[in-house]
Amino acid sequence: MLNDTPLKTKMILYTVLGVFLILTASTAVIISTVTTQEEKLAYQQSVEMASNYANQFDADMKANLAIARTISTVMTSYETADRDEALLILENLLLDNPLLLGTYVAFEPDAFDGKDAEYVNAPAHDETGRFVPYWNKMNGTVAVAPLLHYDDSDYYQLPKDTKKDLLTEPYFYEGVFMVSYVSPIIKNGEFIGVGGVDVSLEYVDEVVSEVRTFDTGYAFMVSNEGILLSHPTHKDWIGKKNLYDLGGEELKTASFNIKNGISGHIETTDPTTGKTVIMFYEPVETGDFAFVLVVPKEEMLAGVIDLRDRLLIISAISILFMAALAYMIARSVTKPINRIVDDFKNIAEDAVKGKLDVRANTHVEIDFREIPRGLNEIINSVVIPIRETMRVTNALAQGELKERVNVDVQGEFRELEDTLDKFSETLNMIIDDSTAVLTAFQHNDFKRSIRIHGQGDFKLLTDGIEETRLVLDRVTTQRREAEKALIEYARKLEHSNRLKEEMERIINNSPVIVFLWKYEEGWPIEFVSENVNRLGYEVEDFISKSILYADIVYPDDFEKVENELSRNVDAGFDAYNSEYRIFTKSGEVRWVDERTFIQRDEKDEIHLQGIILDITEHKKAEDALLQMEEIRKKEIHHRIKNNLQVISTLLYLESGNFSDEKVIEAFKDSQHRVKSMALVHEKLYQSEDMISVDFSDYIQNLANYLFGAYSVGGGDIKLKLDVDNVFLGMDTAVPVGIIINELVSNSLKHAFSEGESGEICICLKKEENEKDGKGTGRLDTGKGSKAGVPGKCFSLIVRDNGKGFPGDIDFRETDSLGLQLVVSLVDQVEGSIELDTSRGTEFRIRFRELKYRQKL
């Protein structure tokens, strides 16, 4: 191949290739060195940014811990022991530090001033009188309440046991994401209490969400366990999502390092944007947190890529310059050679034309002058043999195969003449034999074979004729067989086309629409059946990519559809069903049932094939049935209420047949109990969901009824209500209503003498179960933590300031049917009951809302 390449081209090629190799090697070294340094600098800048923010938040955490330590230090050296002054100190600390959510102290019994007995149930104190105030801004305003569950909760017991500072894990409390800092109060080497602060982590999310790096980089915070403490876009992930939930082996490695307080960075796919990013993480030592900086890789390395491109352009320009220089050098060398070659070419062309008297020009550069002289001598020595050979050749061309060479020459020219004579004889025999075979071809006879085989090129001729004969013979046979096969194939193809047309007709006439999606963003469609016009669309709308499948999914259902698809693909499932809404082309919303088949090819690429069926009418029928069910429930509660009213009336009428006051009283009590149950069903009938009762309104109505039934008007006996906005299910509302009926009835009948004034109080409060035990009225699990019993819990108090419950009677063992009923119903609602007779009669009942079991 190189022998056929011009000398000038070779010189240019070798020069450019050498320069190219040198520049390529040097440029590669330069690019590698410079880009590596630039890349290290980009990484170093990102690491320093993450470290600076981590140090900033570490300083904030240390400052908060320092406040807790300040509280414990002040209380350790506080000799005045003035509780009001201590409360003022805690309040001022809370007001002076806007980032704090609460401040508190908790002392051992009589450890503050030895006067616990004087402060029993005073503000910021509990029934023990211990100094346990908790100033907080939970509801937006500064308020104080006693700490709870300090005897068995970690926030108090751990500092007491270890005598060391405590920082809790982040947790939600009344919708606020927070942590607590607690420091023990040690006096004379003895533990006497704790001082602490609560800090909301919302400001962390506000600060971190504002962090930006490069063009689209952002940051977030995580806890030691990987829980998200902030996020610039997905606020619903805060406190609920873990780094493990975001997927990927790289994030698992990062979570492990964060848990062990190790800084570092990983390359991964951003779960929010889908871009390749570098994720830098730095520990926040004081809070066992970590600051995470997310930087898109292409933005971070944009400077590196720009520098590399510039170096490549410089190298390309250098190569072009050297190519031009090589061209100039090659041209100066090859120009005289080209003139000699042109002269040789002209002589050869004249010789081919029979002009053997032409000679080469010897007036050339001295370095090349011997070349045309030698050529002229060669021409002179070969003219005679060539002319004789031409004569014999012309005779052969005219069919005179007997003609021979007559010139006496020497050396290789003699061999040339002998060869020409032998050629004549061989050619004569080959032509005769080949003519016989070709004549047989004309009659479609391919059995006559070549009998005389020549040598060299003549052998190629005779072998070629023989191979042609064999091929023609074989082709003739194969052609007949191919004709039969083509006829059979045409028959099968026609049958297959008929089946395909029939299948398409069945699909297009069915209510089921067939789709073939790509597993890409927006789900572009590769195929859709023609009956998509049922939705108003044309096949071309989807095939042309002007409409993606994601465009027709109802926005409120899109996330559900996307999550179901991702979950089933990730789980390796082959198929799944889903119901959701889509838009028709006219904008109408329709319900569809989709059956999706997940296909994976040998390259592990995913394609989605599915069918959708319009189920809008089915959905409408379901909604109609639900409305009928709501009407049926209302009718049931209305009829139950009416029946109970009838029973109450019957009891009243029946009591008129008796004169015994005890019998009449028993009928009246039963009437009141029936009335309390009827009120529950009346409130259920009036409620929107027919499941829960507005219990504050219910208590007001029941108390008014009982005061009226016992002829208590606006005179001496007053009613005081302190009821939260509480909704209870029927399973809880009925027994609690009867309990209130019995206790209020007892107070009205027995607590006050004739003409005596007094007050009956009904108090119902919610007790939320949170991680933090500070606040009021939280049930305790007894597990040494701030956690409570799962579910909603309530505190019910019914008291009067009358003559008091008889001291010689155990209300749990009394013969009174009403109190027996109260004790039994308290057990039914999984509650507890206590009696306090220090100031009149007070029943304290704590109970849980029973889980409502819907009955069909």
What pLDDT is recorded for position 765? 92
> Between residues 628 and 85, which one has the greater pLDDT?
85
pLDDT at 490 over 70: no
3-state secondary structure of 715: coil
Q: Say how far apart CA 340 and CA 524 lie, in whole Å.
A: 68
> For 173, which DSSP code?
E
**Burial class of residue 695 (count of CB atoms within 10 Å of its CB; 0-12, 13-18, 19+):** buried
What pLDDT is recorded for position 789? 38
> Between residues 34 and 65, which one has the greater pLDDT?
65
Inter-axis angle of helices 661-686 and 616-655, nearest 10: 160
3-state secondary structure of 399: coil
Which range in 67-81, 301-315, 442-456 is most confidently predicted, on average pLDDT? 67-81
pLDDT at 635 over 60: no
What pLDDT is recorded for position 285? 72
pLDDT at 598 over 50: yes
pLDDT at 170 over 90: no
What pLDDT is recorded for position 171? 77
**What band does 714 get if pLDDT is binned at 50, 70 and 90?**
very low
What pLDDT is recorded for position 833? 94
Q: Say how far apart CA 83 and CA 63 lie, in whole Å.
A: 26
Dihedral-angle region of residue 710 (phi above 0 means left; psi in -120 to 50 means alpha; beta otherwise)? alpha
What pLDDT is recorded for position 805? 85
Dihedral-angle region of residue 419 (phi above 0 means left; psi in -120 to 50 means alpha; beta otherwise)? alpha
pLDDT at 856 over 50: no
pTM for this predicted structure? 0.36
Per-residue CA distances from 72 to 19, 58, 78, 411, 679 (Å): 78, 21, 10, 125, 54
Q: How many CB atoms lie within 10 A of CB 851?
A: 9
Number of H helices, E strands in the chain: 17, 23
Beta-bridge partners for 728: 693
**Burial class of residue 272 (count of CB atoms within 10 Å of its CB; 0-12, 13-18, 19+):** middle
Per-residue CA distances from 702 to 493, 547, 698, 739, 747 (Å): 86, 62, 6, 11, 14
> Between residues 537 and 346, which one has the greater pLDDT?
537
**What band does 375 get if pLDDT is binned at 50, 70 and 90?**
confident
> Between residues 87 and 373, which one has the greater pLDDT?
87
List the single range of 81-85, 452-456, 719-723 with lowest mean pLDDT. Answer: 452-456
Beta strand 793-800 with 166-167 is unpaired
What digits encode the pLDDT tens for the residues 270-317?
A: 887 788 888 888 888 776 788 888 888 887 777 667 777 777 888 788
What pLDDT is recorded for position 619? 79
Residue 219 CB-half CA count within 13 A: 27
Question: Which residues neighbour 838 within 8 Å (Cβ) at sequence distance 6 or greater?
Answer: none
pLDDT at 102 over 90: yes
Q: What is the largest CA-CA distance in the chain?
A: 173
Q: Say how far apart CA 728 and CA 679 lie, in whole Å.
A: 13
What pLDDT is recorded for position 378? 73
Residues of the chain above pLDDT 70, percent: 79
E-state strands within 584-684: 589-600, 606-614
Write out the DSSP string of 102-171: EEEEEE-TT-SSS-GGGGTT-TTB-TT--B-EEEE-TTSS-EEEE---TTT-HHHHHHHHH-S-EEPPPE
What digits encode the pLDDT tens for the residues 572-595?
A: 888 988 899 999 988 899 999 988
Phi, psi of 648 (to 5 degrees): -60, -45
Taking Cα atoms as reference points, which of 102, 174, 173 lies closest to residue 142? 102
> Between residues 466 and 839, which one has the greater pLDDT?
839
What digits encode the pLDDT tens for the residues 388-435?
A: 777 777 777 777 766 777 766 666 667 776 776 777 777 777 777 777
Residues of the chain above pLDDT 90, percent: 13
Sign of CA dihedral 104, 107, 110, 112: negative
What digits encode the pLDDT tens for the residues 500-542?
A: 666 667 666 667 888 888 888 888 988 888 888 888 899 888 8
What pLDDT is recorded for position 186? 93
State the average pLDDT for the chain. 79
What pLDDT is recorded for position 643? 59
What pLDDT is recorded for position 788? 35
Token pair of 19 as six digits: 């320069």
What digits encode the pLDDT tens for the residues 533-573?
A: 888 899 888 888 888 988 989 999 999 888 988 899 888 88
pLDDT at 777 over 50: no
Which range in 444-453, 457-466, 720-729 is most confidently predicted, on average pLDDT? 720-729
Beta strand 289-296 with 171-173 is unpaired
What digits encode the pLDDT tens for the residues 643-697?
A: 555 576 666 666 667 777 766 766 667 767 776 677 766 766 565 555 778 888 8
pLDDT at 633 over 60: no
List the single range of 664-678, 699-713, 714-728 with lowest mean pLDDT. Answer: 664-678
What digits encode the pLDDT tens for the residues 202-218?
A: 877 878 888 888 778 88
**What band does 464 get if pLDDT is binned at 50, 70 and 90?**
confident
What pLDDT is recorded for position 746? 86
Which range in 199-203, 275-279, 458-462 is most confidently predicted, on average pLDDT? 275-279
pLDDT at 176 over 90: no
8 Å CB contact between 351 and 358: yes
Give residue 610's identity as a one-letter amino acid code: G
3-state secondary structure of 812: coil
What pLDDT is recorded for position 855? 44
Give me the residue label for tokens 């959708």.
612
What digits encode the pLDDT tens for the residues 780-812?
A: 433 333 333 345 789 999 999 888 888 778 888
Give residue 419's identity as a one-letter amino acid code: T
Question: Which residues neighbour 631 within 8 Å (Cβ) at sequence distance 6 or greater?
Answer: none
pLDDT at 625 over 70: no
Beta strand 575-583 with 525-528 is unpaired
Taking Cα atoms as reference points, which of 266, 237, 245, 242 lies closest to residue 254? 266
Write out the DSSP string of 316-370: HHHHHHHHHHHHHHHHHHHHHHHHHHHHHHHHHHHHHTT-TT------S-GGGTH
End-to-end C-alpha distance for the chain, whole angstroms: 92
Beta strand 100-107 with 793-800 is unpaired
Give me the residue label for tokens 């999606």.
517
Average pLDDT of the segment spanning 182-207 = 88
Question: Which residues neighbour 795 within 8 Å (Cβ) at sequence distance 6 or greater?
Answer: 763, 764, 765, 767, 777, 844, 845, 846
User: How big is the chain, counted in residues?
Assistant: 856
Q: Say how far apart CA 643 and CA 624 lie, in whole Å.
A: 29
Give me the residue label for tokens 């944009």.
302
Taking Cα atoms as reference points, which of 47, 517, 492 lies closest to residue 283? 47
Sign of CA dihedral 785, 787, 793, 798: positive
Start-end of H helices in 656-715:
661-686, 695-709
What pLDDT is recorded for position 715? 53
